[in-house]
Structure 1
Amino acid sequence: MPFLADDTRAALERARELDAAAPSPASALDRLAAVRRLIEALEADAASLTAVRDAVAAGADWAQIGEAAHLSPAAAKARWQGDDAAIAERQQASRKRSARPSAKPTDLPGLSVAEAAEKLGVTAQAIYLRVTRGQLEAQTVELPDGRKYKRVFLPEG
């Protein structure tokens, strides 16, 4: 019985067909698409997880598994340790972190530390020192997604 899923075998076969064909400018995009489809199919395929579980059952440790997968032992363990529910939970938590917006919000009160430093003509360190000494007012604003920003409020004047 083959260890790859049907989708993965189909993607691999398509890559093989394109590998055997004469290259042309038009086929370059087809080759790129085939490579990406194969990568996606391999990532979704349970073959790696099955092989890891078989290796663990046969007595392999995480260092050996990591070496075979070209990962650190900790990365291999984080990726494949536990039952399906534990693995799915870790993947979901990872997706939540990566779903956060990467841009800083622009509608926060006050100024960022960098903005306050530029406005006062000092370094960011000087701003933090002035906040610590009570010379400037600052507060940390936490957004609903958990991100936190230090905001500085300069005296009016």
Structure 2
Amino acid sequence: MSFLSDETARALAELVALDALHGDVTGAGRADDETDASPLERLRGIRALVAALEADPASIASVRDALGAGRTWSQIADAAGLSPNAAKYRWAGDDDEIAARHEASRKRKRDRPSSAPTELPGLSVAEAAAKLGVTPQAIYQRVTRGLLRAETVELPDGRKYKRVFPDEASAG
């Protein structure tokens, strides 16, 4: 019996069939257009297998078996191509704890935009540093010493940004 779920095994078999079809070549190493899988079919097959593998319970079962056999999170992370913290985040705890952690992460991603707003006043610390030809740390030091004015701007969604006003005298 396979350790992969039926859905993952089916996606794998379909991708292997596409690979075999693509591997059938005629003539001087050129694929026969009538039998060759299209690039989009191949891409769909690859993505279907990736999605099936991500959802497959075989991963968590393997992690739990490895932990039961005395393997460390570092070893598990190395096998999965992750950092130990990422592996623990993904697989530590029981099914309910994992599901709750992943749902909280999805909720944060839905609730927060993925890019910084562009309509903020002043300059970012990095922009101010580039404009003045210094490091970001030097900007923070100048703000602390009162040589530059800076404000923390808070958006309605709770994100905060430090904004620097290098063309204005310090208000402090």
Q: Normalised by the size of structure 2, how large is the TM-score?
A: 0.68
Give how far 1:127 is off. Answer: 5.0
1:95 maps onto 2:106 in alignment: yes
- Larger proportion of helix: 1
Shift of 1:62: 2.7
For 2:63 and 2:119, locate their aligned partners in 1 and report how far apart those are by CA, in whole Å.
Answer: 47
Cross-structure match for 1:139: 151
| Secondary structure of 2:132's aligned partner | coil
Matched residues in 1 for 2:70 and 2:140: separation?
53
Contact 1:114–1:124 (8 Å) recurs in 2: no
What's 1:107 paired with?
119
- Higher mean Cα deviation, 59-68 or 37-46? 59-68
Q: 1:71 to 1:57 in 2, by over 3 A?
A: same
Please state if 1:123 is matched with 2:109.
Answer: no
Q: Could you give the per-residue CA deviations for residues 69-110 of structure 1, whole angstroms, max 9, x where no partner exists? A: 344444333321101122123323433555543332133234
TM-superposed deviation, 1:48: 0.8
Give structure 2 stretches of 5+ with no counterpart: 25-30
Letter in 1 for 2:163: R
Q: 1:74 to 1:104 in 2, by over 3 A?
A: closer
Could you tell which deviates more after superposition, 39-48 or 28-37?
Answer: 28-37
Q: What is the root-mean-square deviation in Å for CA atoms of aligned residues?
A: 3.1
Tell me how far 1:146 sits from its aligned partner: 4.1
Counterparts of 1:22-33 in structure 2, within 5 Å, are: 22=24, 23=31, 24=33, 27-33=38-44
C-alpha distance in 2, partners of 1:72/1:132?
Answer: 36
For 2:11, the equivalent position in structure 1 comes to 11
TM-score normalised according to structure 1 size: 0.73
Cα distance in 1 for residues equivalent to 2:157 and 2:13? 43
User: Which among 113, 137, 160 is matched to residue 148 of structure 1?
Assistant: 160
Once residues 127 and 73 of structure 2 are traced to their aligned partners in structure 1, the CA distance between those partners, rounded to angstroms, is 47
Kindly, what percent of the aligned residue pairs are identical? 60
Number of aligned residue pairs: give it. Answer: 154
SS at match of 1:140: strand
**Structure 1 residue identity aligned to 2:132:** V
- Counterparts of 2:154 and 2:60, CA distance in 1: 38
1:130 CA drift (Å): 4.3
8 Å contact from structure 1 (residues 141, 150) kept in 2: yes
